[in-house]
Structure 1
Amino acid sequence: MRRPAYPTDLTDAQWRAIAPSLPLPAWMQGRGGQPEGYCHREMIDAMLYVDDNGTKWRALPVDFPHWAAAYRFFRRWRDQGLLKVLHDRLRRRCREKQGRPPEPTAAVIDAQSLRAAETVGADRRGYDGAKKVNGTKRHIAVDTTGLLLDVVATAADVQDRDGAMPLLERLHRACPRVSHVWADGGYAGRLVTWTKEKLRLQLEIVKRTDDMKGFVVLPRRWVVERTLSWIVRRRRCVRDYERLPTSHQAMVHWAMTLVMARRLAR
């Protein structure tokens, strides 16, 4: 085992908190397969280091496993859904620790436009005229405590309500108990009717009143805004550096995995 050297390295308390939630490899369950060459703790430390520092895979420090092995781990956990399994298990445990049911019944959605690096292809990027951003956009859904439920990455020129449709469909499949969703004024219009008729969800629009001036904390909406601020603390998530939208979504899940690991270890 390498000695912890970076702020993102899991402490012993954090590792004890998340280890029971790790998806077990097939070979550990007697279903065949070859044992992995590196410890999961070392690999997760490498994922969190890349996510927090925004470094390139090839620039991974030498005290971590080889960068190619770390990237293969990232890609396998992304493509096989193992990261989502770990993330969702930690979210359920965080909710239970707060005295809440493991599965949420309400959600809040929002979108955030990001500048795209040169590694993002032309087929993935667009121009958001309102934010004056040439890049991509992430659409997220969170529970009422701010924990991530799902994320969808699109081009920046996709309207919020158009990007919310695949997000809400995924949310409905992953969290069938959710029956009420809050959103800002950008989601008003046909999305409210579509959500009610197709998904049987109540979409409530939280609007600013005309007499509000400057920054005002709005009910429910502040929760998702806070989650977006947690995500952009990780440098890999400040901009979009990924060639695939699924890679950016994975980086968002790793960012929230670090948040939940620290909560569970308190």
Structure 2
Amino acid sequence: MTDAEWPVVRDAMRVPAWWEERGGQSESYCHRQLVDVVRYLVAGGIAWRAVPADFPARDRVCAFFRRWRGKGLVAEFHDRLRDRVREASGRGPEPTAGIIDAQSVEGAASVPVAGRGFDGGKKVNGRKRHIVVDTLGFLPAVMVTAASVIDREAGRMLLGRLRMRTQRWRISLAWADGGCAGRLVDLARDVLRIALTAIRRTDDATGFAVLPKGWPMERRFAWLMRSRRLARDCEIRTDTSDVMIRWSRSMVMSHRLARRAR
């Protein structure tokens, strides 16, 4: 990352306990070096064993990555950056509307059989990324499943996860494609108090067509494909795929905040 980005990233990270003399052992590498390795891996799409030798030792980077994944620190770091980007854009930190959609990607040979499936509609054998974005295209919630999971069932779990993660529940409007119509609309209205609208394609539509309220989502998927690690799913665990998506988005948001600061 650039020198202008590092203050933005550092302010969004949790302060280590040993830094504030609250116990614990100091780390042998600074966080900037460790974050640089993870960003390099996500952007370049390389394997862990292909990390250049001038970066910190691979076992230390893997330990840092697993610790942040297990303790939920990546999601916390991502959400802090998202709140600051929204405030810099003149919006409140918590969104009031969201758009739900899914993207099916091919699974590499490293993806186990138990964690992959076949999407009959997209003809993709791999995994599916279910995400919720706000009207600015930022990411409140994400969930990775096998590609065989239907959008309606995944949307129910995704909305429930979004409610648990949101500190101040303000989302009252949501849009989704026609695959989420039916019981999910009733569940969102009766249980979560969300006015969910299912947007369907017209009968005369042919080929690719952006549905109403769908452009922020299509733009989000295009941004994800800029990270080579996300061009296909090669992670063994689905929570690792979740973390890779959040790391990719944090790179874009930190760059945007650093550019605004300049």
Question: TM range, normalised to the smaller chain?
Answer: over 0.9
| Pair 1:222 & 2:215 matched | yes
Looking at structure 2, the residues matched to 136 and 149 of structure 1 have their Cα atoms a distance apart, in angstroms, of 20
Q: Which of the numbers 180, 189, 195 marks the counterpart of 1:202?
A: 195
Shift, 1:263, TM fit: 0.7
Residue by residue over 1:156-180, the C-alpha shift from the partner in whole angstroms, topping out at 9 and shown as x without a partner, is 1000111111111011122311111
Mean CA deviation greater in 213-222 or 64-73: 213-222
Root-mean-square deviation (CA, aligned residues, Å) is 1.2
Counterpart in the other structure of 2:235: 242
Counterpart in the other structure of 1:168: 159
| Pair 1:83 & 2:74 matched | yes
Counterpart in the other structure of 2:255: 262
Shift, 1:67, TM fit: 1.1
Counterpart in the other structure of 1:3: none
Looking at structure 2, the residues matched to 86 and 16 of structure 1 have their Cα atoms a distance apart, in angstroms, of 13
Mean CA deviation greater in 41-50 or 17-26: 17-26
Looking at structure 1, the residues matched to 21 and 213 of structure 2 have their Cα atoms a distance apart, in angstroms, of 46
Looking at structure 1, the residues matched to 120 and 206 of structure 2 have their Cα atoms a distance apart, in angstroms, of 23
Shift, 1:96, TM fit: 0.5
> Structure 2: where are the runs of 5+ without partners?
none
Q: Which of the numbers 167, 172, 179 marks the counterpart of 2:172?
A: 179
Shift, 1:217, TM fit: 3.3
Counterpart in the other structure of 1:128: 119
Q: Percent identity?
A: 49
Shift, 1:213, TM fit: 4.4
Q: Which amino acid aligns with 1:128?
A: D
Shift, 1:42, TM fit: 0.8
Q: Which amino acid aligns with 1:139?
A: H
Shift, 1:214, TM fit: 4.5
Looking at structure 1, the residues matched to 120 and 134 of structure 2 have their Cα atoms a distance apart, in angstroms, of 29
Looking at structure 1, the residues matched to 129 and 56 of structure 2 have their Cα atoms a distance apart, in angstroms, of 30
Counterpart in the other structure of 2:8: 17
Shift, 1:58, TM fit: 1.2
> Structure 1: where are the runs of 5+ without partners?
1-9
Residue by residue over 1:152-210, the C-alpha shift from the partner in whole angstroms, topping out at 9 and shown as x without a partner, is 11111000111111111011122311111111111111111122122221111122333
| Pair 1:95 & 2:80 matched | no
Looking at structure 1, the residues matched to 162 and 112 of structure 2 have their Cα atoms a distance apart, in angstroms, of 27
Q: Which of the numbers 219, 226, 229 marks the counterpart of 1:233?
A: 226
- Give the secondary-structure state (helix, strand or coil) at the position aligned to 2:115: coil
Q: Which amino acid aligns with 1:33?
A: G
| Pair 1:67 & 2:38 matched | no
Shift, 1:215, TM fit: 4.0
Looking at structure 2, the residues matched to 177 and 124 of structure 1 have their Cα atoms a distance apart, in angstroms, of 33
- Give the secondary-structure state (helix, strand or coil) at the position aligned to 2:113: coil
